[in-house]
Structure 1
Amino acid sequence: MAITVFMGFFAMMNPIANTAVFIGMTANKSQQQRKNTTVKALLTAFVIITSFCFLGKGIFEIFGITLPALRLSGGILVFIVGYHMLHGSSSKLHSHSASDTGDEDKDIAISPLALPILAGPGTIATAMNYSASGQILHIVITIIAFALLCLITFICFLYGAKLIEKIGEGGISITTRLMGLILTIIGTQMFIQGVHDAYLLFQGSAITR
């Protein structure tokens, strides 16, 4: 499960492609300012994902949401993001518009970096899907996997300029498409699991009637 969770987060966040976005958004900043922005953005994203991991079950109970419903909708959401990446474009769920960086004084660490680029709807859906069972082991594994990915993203952002120079635009394009393929597969798997769970849920409800 740990590898599946990590790969799901890795494909969704795509740290290599996001590094190019980060470099473009912080082109006029010093190395120290880039480091501060990176730390703030990743900490914010980590807090958001951790909160949804712990509060996911409570959110379900408050709004009457079932786990199959999350897996079905989450699978569709993850598939859409992956589909756009597979075709070499960024989904609007995990991208920023030109107006987001129009104000030079705006703190980009919170928006759009932390949300929606790092911890967008797809990433949140992925986290909740893996931790929604409420079992502490699943929650811990999900949080550790995301923390590890945050560390990898930190390194990519910190040495982003050199990384982009080495792999070039072609490398970024290939990586994005590969991550998109992985995401579409994960989204499909989540959807299939949701259909299976929904069938069992309705079957169980029919028996108890």
Structure 2
Amino acid sequence: MIFDVTLYLTVFITLFVIMAPPAAIPIFLSLVGRKSKEARNKAAWQAPAVSLAVITVFAIGGQAILNYLRIGIPSLQGSGGLLLLLIALDLLRGNDTDGPKGAEDVNVALVPLGTPLMAGPGAIAAVIVYVSQAHGSASSYLAVGAAILSIHVVFFLVLRFSTVLIRVLGQGGITLLTRISGLLLAAIAVQLIAESIRGFIEVS
């Protein structure tokens, strides 16, 4: 069995462009900036872990799951967009997005960081496509799996070391970053909803 380096690089670059780890930094900091150092560090590894679990599940049986539930990629895009839009509105209004007391780091890592920000419709669709194109080749499956793992390691490193910026920004900077992140997240949400509508129109 020969490791397919070309496929590995193709999948890794595709996921890097779709998931955009650097773009998650301001949103991550706006959500965890006021938490304790331990909570920030915990969220930095929990979010990629959640995303890795979600994408792995869809890589293994994503097409079967979607077919069984009769759900298309446009539906995932629409639901993900609406969820992100709700969170974006909270950030813009300055509302508490941490969830119940005592579970805030877990909730932030699950939603919106782990999913749908990282493990979003685009990443899920790309993984399903690449797995379907593997045609039962062990080397191809290994390359796709290694690429999925690699992008999440990159995500962890980016989020983990982005927390040093909190000391530079201070509370005022975090507040400003929260508003900017809300605007960016709203734009991402609207784009997902627009792509969902376009997908439904093309299918019909």
| Residue equivalent to 1:189 | 195
Give the 5 Å matches for 1:67-82. 69-82=71-84
The answer to whether the 8 A contact 1:23-1:160 is kept is yes
| Residue equivalent to 2:27 | 17
Matched, 1:157 2:163: yes
Cα shift readout 1:36-82 (whole Å, capped 9, x = no counterpart):
52454145224323423422234235x253xxx33221121232134
Unaligned runs of 5+ in 1: 200-209
Q: TM-score, normalised by structure 2?
A: 0.62
Whole-angstrom distance in 1 between the partners of 2:198 and 2:149: 24
2:63 to 54, 57, 66: 57
Give the 5 Å matches for 1:97-136. 97=99, 99-101=100-102, 111-121=106-116, 123-126=118-121, 127-133=123-129, 134=131, 135=133
CA gap 1:36/1:139 in 2 versus in 1, 3 angstroms: same
Unaligned runs of 5+ in 2: 1-10, 135-139
User: RMSD across aligned C-alpha pairs, in angstroms?
Assistant: 3.8
Whole-angstrom distance in 2 between the partners of 1:59 and 1:166: 45
- Number of aligned residues: 177
Whole-angstrom distance in 2 between the partners of 1:142 and 1:186: 22
Structure 2 residue matching 1:89: 3-state secondary structure: helix
The answer to whether the 8 A contact 2:51-2:118 is kept is no
Whole-angstrom distance in 2 between the partners of 1:3 and 1:182: 20
Q: CA deviation at 1:181?
A: 0.8
Q: TM-score, normalised by structure 1?
A: 0.61
